[in-house]
Amino acid sequence: MQLPPTEWTTIQVPADSRTNDFEAVFGPGRRWRISTPAAPSTFVGQLRQHELAGATLVSITGTQSVGQLPTARRGGPSDELYLALQLNLSGRERIQSPDAHWDEEMRPGDMILWRTDQRHSFEVLEPMQNVSLMIPWQLMREHLPQRREPPAMCRIESHSGIGLLLAQHLLGLAREVGSVKPTAHATLCRTSIELLDIALPGLERASKFNAKAVLRERVRAYIAGHLHEDDLSPARIAAAHGVSLRYLQALFAGGDATVAGHILESRLARCWQALTDPACQHLQVSDIAFRWGFKSASHFCHVFKQRYQLTPGEMRRMAAR
């Protein structure tokens, strides 16, 4: 279930507890211990968090401060490894990591990738603003099964090429995610992870940018835009993109679903969202099934239970509790 966005600002907090509160609202994988050069009352900050299909988008502004991210405690709630893609929008920040042999200053426009399983410290040298996408390592592996190990902490060239596209994508997410429908979050998250992968320095890259990857994303976008049409089929999709059916099937051969499987999974996901949405309670189960391209209500109920281990009616009643 999609969590509501988190909004936090020091305006809401007593002056003497600002840094403690700021620590408490940090997103997943962030166990920062924060202090200020002067009294805590001098610290001014703001944070916004949005869930994005398993990842978390975090936008931060803050004045001078310092912080440490200690090594994860084994068996604790913060054990899960996150990869943090961070884009500095304004101000200067020094970041150090003894585990990654890293000691660099970030200036406006700089972008880095860091890991929550390594010790880090930061010092905000002047009022700054940044945006980060916190990606669980397990989620990256699901989208990039060819990647065996998490990438190392590194700087990503953000002023040209794929890195510039990634930086613009991340900035666009920060500005527009609040107005994007949740049904698009999975596509945006997958696109972010794939862009990150091809923007990494050569030794860290798991895949290469190629025409097949571009066409595969175009096909997925086409499917998402035509799910409601009951005549959507692999043959029609292949014809719409000027490729043979065999080539289209090959595009999906390395993934976790065939073309037909991807269509079915996408339709089931849309139906699940409608069944759990209070705004759709007036709709019959069959109405929802037909709205998302199913031709038979009985077939829909059968494949829905296979996928979620609940009938559509049971899912709706459980969500309404």
Burial annotation 142-170 (CB, 10 A radius, 16+ → b, else e): ebbeebeebbbbeebebeeebbbebbebb
Fold of 211-320: Arc Repressor Mutant, subunit A (1.10.10)
d(CA 259, CA 118): 39
Tell me, what's the pLDDT at 1? 46
Pairing of strands 120-124, 55-62: unpaired
Give the pLDDT of residue 271.
93
Domain boundaries, the chain: 7-199, 211-320
Domain 7-199 in CATH 2.60.40.420 = no
When computed from its CA atoms, the radius of gyration of the chain, rounded to whole angstroms, is 22
Instruction: Please state whether the predicted TM-score (pTM) of the whole model is above 0.75.
Output: no
Q: Report how far apart, in Å, the C-alpha atoms of 110 and of each of 29, 30, 285 are.
A: 22, 20, 49
Report how far residue 163's alpha carbon sits from residue 300's, in angstroms, rounded to the nearest whole number.
Answer: 42
Tell me whether strands 45-52 and 55-62 are parallel, antiparallel or unpaired.
antiparallel
pLDDT along the chain (321 residues), means of 10: 66 67 57 59 80 92 79 49 94 90 92 91 89 94 86 91 91 90 90 92 56 78 90 93 90 80 92 89 94 95 92 88 70
- Residue-level pLDDT at 79: 60
Give which of 178, 171, 186 is closest to 217, Cα–Cα. Answer: 186
Cα gap 216→46, rounded to integer Å: 38
User: What pLDDT score does 56 carry?
Assistant: 92
For residue 254, the model assigns a pLDDT of 67
pLDDT value of residue 74: 39
Phi and psi dihedrals of 172, rounded to 5? -65, -40
Total residues belonging to the chain:
321
For position 32, what pLDDT does the model report?
Answer: 58
Cα 158 from Cα 284, distance rounded (Å)? 49
Q: Within 10 A of 194 (CB to CB), how many other CB atoms are there?
A: 20
Distance CA 82, CA 61 (A): 21
What pLDDT score was predicted for residue 255? Answer: 67
Which residues lie below 8 Å from residue 144, measured CB to CB, with a gap of 6+?
193, 194, 197, 206, 207
